[in-house]
Structure formats: C-alpha cells, structure tokens
Amino acid sequence: MSRRARFLEVLGIADEWVLRRAPALPEAVEPSAMAGLADPSAEVTAVHEDTASREAAQAAVTLAAVADARVDEAQAEAAPSAWSAQADMDAAAPAPATAEVAVARMPPEPVAADTSTREAVIARLDWAALEQRVCGCNDCQLCDGRTQTVFGVGDRQAEWMLVGEAPGENEDKQGEPFVGQAGKLLDNMLAAVGLARGRNVFIANVLKCRPPGNRNPEPEEVAQCEPYLRRQIALIQPKLIVVLGRFAAQSLLRTTTPIGKLRGTVHSYEGIPVVVTYHPAYLLRTLSDKARAWEDLCLAREVHARAGAKA
Ligand code: SF4
C-alpha cells in the first residue's frame, strides 16, 4: 500500500478523496527541496457522502492548507517544478501537521486590563474606602456647589436597590437621598410592597452631588460619578434594581428612550434585572400617574420573586 493510501486510510476517508491532478515528479528534483512540501496544484476535493467522516475530511482540508502554507514559505528556496504528488504526501504526514493545527486553534492572548485607571481603582474599593473616596471627591464641577456628598443609605446586603437621579436641595443639606415630601412618598411606595428604608433596600443616586439649581446633570458629570454607583451595585449585588425617573433610567440603561416606553419592561444592568418607574417628585406633581407607578412596583415585586428572593 502506498504512503498516500496509508495516510488516507488513517484518516478514514480513503474512498472519498480524488486527486484532480498529480503531476509527475520531474527528474531534476532535489529530494531535499521537496521535504515537507505540499503540491498546491494537487487540489484535493472532498466529497462528503458520510456524516461520520466529515470531521476527518475537515482535518484533511486543514492539513492541505497547512501544507500549502509550507509551499509558500519554501518557494523562495525550491523551484515550483519540484512539487509533486509524493511531496504532497510527505507534507501531509499527520504528526507535524497536527501540531500546527493545534497552534492555529489556540485562543488569542488575553489583553491585560489596565488596573491603573480611575474606574479600575474604584472598582476595587471596599465599602469604607468607597465611602471615603466619594466623601472627598472633586472629580467633577459639582463638587463646587455641594454642601456634602450623598453616598446612599440602607441595607448593604439588600436584595432591592433603588436608584434615583441626584440629590436635591434637602438631600444636599441632610446628606441622605430621597428626603422631604418625595422621600415620604417613596417610603409609602416601599411600604406598599412590604419594604422599608434600610431593611432589605439600599437607596442611591446616579450622582452623589447636587447639581446647582437642580439642573439636569451634564454627561461628563454622569461619566465621572457612575463608577461609584457601579461599585455600590457590585458590592450589594441586589436581585433587582428599581430606577426612579427618566434621567436615572436613561443614564443607567444608556438610552434616550422616553420613560413611558422604558416602563413595563424588565431591563438589565450588569446582569441584574431593572424595572423603571416614575420619580416620586414627579408623582407628587402628576397624581394621575400614581396608578402606573403601582403597576411598576407590582412588576418589580414579581421580578424579585422570580429571582428566588427571600423577602
Ligand atoms: S458628582 Fe460624583 S464625580 Fe462629581 S464631585 Fe460629586 S462625587 Fe465626585
């Protein structure tokens, strides 16, 4: 049995391969010039009639490609006339070709994450370090007008996390999110689903400092402050995030979709389910939307229950 026949038999595809052309070996061929070469003109056509042999056929195609590459490398040294069907068989010897295929299939080298960036540093902070860093943060212009930062409040092992926009005047004075009339309404909303501030709930804002005159935060202010919220979420690992108001929803979900269209659907932030509802301050002005807010809380409760939650 010829070397070629033995090789194809090993691959289990001896009956499926047809050499279109197998040029004769010229007399002037130097054997050393052919070693390890495949004949690029000796194209191999695989006829896949048997599903069980598909893998073997694919491997042979890969081997032929590897051999072709070797031809390219060797062309500078060996004359094209030296290629032959016999050289093809030599090149397709299973052991070295398998090694090359294995190298070709190795995943790319992972790109090392830059651990020195501001975000990467914040992402490693524990609760105490995070709170301290926020307290002294001057990383955006909002630090100029604040009375104090508003870090967030509540149970740090909570399953529910509520996220609002930014501190208002009262929050800036008291250092706690959602105080005043809007805060009272939020407490009532929480009570309606069996929750209480500080018990299985953590409340925070996207921004930790009050924008002057309660203006909308600028994109760069959000970009600077969001890593703090992201770290809070990573530390708490809540089963559900309820986002309060258009601005917080659009910032967290990175969208410009109106809140009316974001409501009623379960979104995702870093793999955590997110339910969007109205800001309590808006509900104080728009009583007609309180029924919709109740629907949102019912959806949140359902999502929370589905997440296998305790309370
Ligand atoms: S808003 Fe955020 S980023 Fe800007 S100063 Fe306050 S804590 Fe720092």
Query: What's the pLDDT score for residue 215?
Result: 92
Question: Same domain for 127 and 96?
Answer: no
In angstroms, what is the span from residue 212 Cα to ligand 1's centroid? 13
Query: What's the pLDDT score for residue 56?
Result: 43
Angle at 308 between CA 306 and CA 311, to 5 degrees: 100
Q: Is the CB of 206 under 6 A from ligand 1?
A: no
Whether residue 109 lies inside any domain: the answer is no
Single residue among 104, 137, 155 that ends a domain in this structure: 104
Report the nearest atom of ligand 1 relative to the CA of 224: 3
How far apart (Å, rounded) are the C-alpha atoms in residues 230 and 214?
Answer: 23
Whether residue 216 lies inside any domain: the answer is yes
Query: What's the pLDDT score for residue 214?
Result: 86
* Residue whose CB lies within 8 A of the most ligand 1 atoms, among 221, 222, 231, 232, for a mutation test: 221
Question: Same domain for 176 and 237?
Answer: yes
Question: Same domain for 128 and 171?
Answer: yes
Whether residue 311 lies inside any domain: the answer is no
Q: Which domain holds residue 217?
A: 118-306
* Helical packing angle, 54-74 and 94-104, nearest 10°: 90
Query: What's the pLDDT score for residue 94?
Result: 40
Q: What pTM value is reported for the model? A: 0.64
Question: Same domain for 153 and 291?
Answer: yes
pLDDT in tens, 65-99: 444 434 333 333 333 333 333 333 333 334 333 33
Per-residue confidence in pLDDT tens, the chain, 311 aa: 555 555 445 444 444 444 444 444 444 434 343 333 334 333 333 334 344 444 444 444 444 444 443 433 333 333 333 333 333 333 333 433 333 333 444 445 555 667 789 999 999 999 999 999 999 999 999 999 999 999 999 999 999 999 999 999 999 999 999 999 999 999 999 999 899 988 899 999 999 999 999 899 999 999 999 999 999 999 999 999 999 999 999 999 999 999 999 999 999 999 999 999 999 999 999 999 999 999 999 999 999 999 875 55
Whether residue 73 lies inside any domain: the answer is yes
In angstroms, what is the span from residue 123 Cα to ligand 1's centroid? 16
Question: Same domain for 33 and 164?
Answer: no
Which of 162, 164, 153 lies closest to 281 in space, CA to CA?
164
Query: What's the pLDDT score for residue 115?
Result: 76
Question: Same domain for 158 and 46?
Answer: no
In angstroms, what is the span from residue 35 Cα to ligand 1's centroid? 68
Q: Is the CB of 224 under 6 A from ligand 1?
A: yes
Q: Is the CB of 140 under 6 A from ligand 1?
A: yes
Query: What's the pLDDT score for residue 264?
Result: 95
Single residue among 73, 104, 135 that ends a domain in this structure: 104
* Residue whose CB lies within 8 A of the most ligand 1 atoms, among 209, 226, 228, for a mutation test: 209
Mean pLDDT of the chain: 75
Which of 86, 20, 12 lies closest to 49 in space, CA to CA?
12
Question: Same domain for 142 and 224?
Answer: yes
Question: Same domain for 34 and 125?
Answer: no
Whether residue 126 lies inside any domain: the answer is yes
How far apart (Å, rounded) are the C-alpha atoms in residues 139 and 158?
Answer: 28
Single residue among 39, 69, 104 that ends a domain in this structure: 104
What's the total number of domains in the chain?
A: 2
Question: Same domain for 195 and 147?
Answer: yes
CATH label of the domain that carries residue 169: 3.40.470.10
Whether residue 164 lies inside any domain: the answer is yes
Tokens of 166: 């930014």
Question: Same domain for 64 and 156?
Answer: no
Whether residue 234 lies inside any domain: the answer is yes
pLDDT in tens, 29-60: 343 433 333 343 333 333 343 444 444 444 44
Bridge partners of 205, per DSSP, are: 164
Query: What's the pLDDT score for residue 114?
Result: 72
Question: Same domain for 124 and 65?
Answer: no
Whether residue 111 lies inside any domain: the answer is no
Question: Same domain for 77 and 138?
Answer: no
- Structural contact between residues 242 and 202, judged by C-beta atoms closer than 8 angstroms: no
